[in-house]
Amino acid sequence: MHSPKAKNTGRRDGSPVLGGSFEFVSLTKPVNRSSPRHLLQRQGSDPTTARLRASESPLRRRGSGSSTGSASGQGTPEEDGIRLNPSLIGISLSSLLAIDLWLSKRLSVCACEDSSWGSVRPLMKLVEVSGHGIPWLAGAAYSLYKSDTAAGQEIMLNLLVGLLLDLILVGIVKAVVRRRRPAHNQMDMFATFSVDRYSFPSGHATRAAMCGRFLLAHLVLAAPLRVLVLLWVGLVGLSRVLLGRHNVTDVLFGFWMGYCQYNLVEILWFSPQTLQGLLGHLA
């Protein structure tokens, strides 16, 4: 007995008719919802899990700081520029240091006998000795001992105090800064001490500046002698760079420090009465 046409649920190709009453049955293999693969697929399709994965990605982590700062109002463009750009002061100091080292090396033409001006090295070493502390201390002490007037003794005593003050202050600054001497320097200096292995500041420059001001202020000198004192001060500082003993900044700071040391000597100036009392105690 044939079924009615209305009950015909198939086409010629055997596929079911959409308007039929039969349910669609998946022809694929049944999925085990408890398998690990299915769990991973469910986690990947979960919106919360997707957001967590996106937040854990390297690109997300890299940009999370800036996005958080922008959202909270703490990361303005000006602050970001200050954090990213190097310090202007640091760049300036580094540039000055590089120029100082380059210029000092170019000017050290008497650093050794094989240098371009190696024949002038003995003369520069003679200038070096003229600015050393030992000749000045010995000369000031001898002049103080041989002076017959109170005014002469006063001047020589204060010069001796200034020289001792110079040794103390320069030694302290060298011990604190601890800047090494230039690499092209030869350690053949006259009468060196432990702090003399350091370069900043130049003790010869401080002593020359302080003694130069002292002589010009307290000795009656003719104009040619005053010019000669100024030339000696400049030549002592120049010899430190030509011999490779110091960098340019060591000498420049030494000149400034010696200039200020003279002001300190004037403040601590020993009067004739103080001098007479000191000599009375020594006698």
User: What amino acid positions are annotated as catalytic residues?
Assistant: 204, 246
Preceding peptide of 122 cis, ω within 30°: no
Provide the β-strand partners of residue 16. Answer: 10
Tokens matching residue 133: 């502390």
- 154, 270 Cβ separation under 8 angstroms: yes
From residue 124, give the alpha-carbon distance in Å to each of 105, 129, 182, 188, 196.
17, 9, 17, 13, 18
Residue 241: CB atoms within 10 A of its CB come to 27
Q: Side-chain half-sphere of 173: how many Cα atoms within 13 Å?
A: 17
- Please, are residues 231 and 166 in contact by the beta-carbon 8 Å criterion? no
Nearest to 206 by CA among 269, 264, 262, 155: 262
What is the dihedral sign for C-alpha 90, 182, 120, 114?
A: negative
Helix (H, G, I), strand (E, B) or coil at 114: coil
- Residue at token pair 């090396």: 105
**What's the rounded Cα separation, in Å, for the pair 142 and 120?**
32
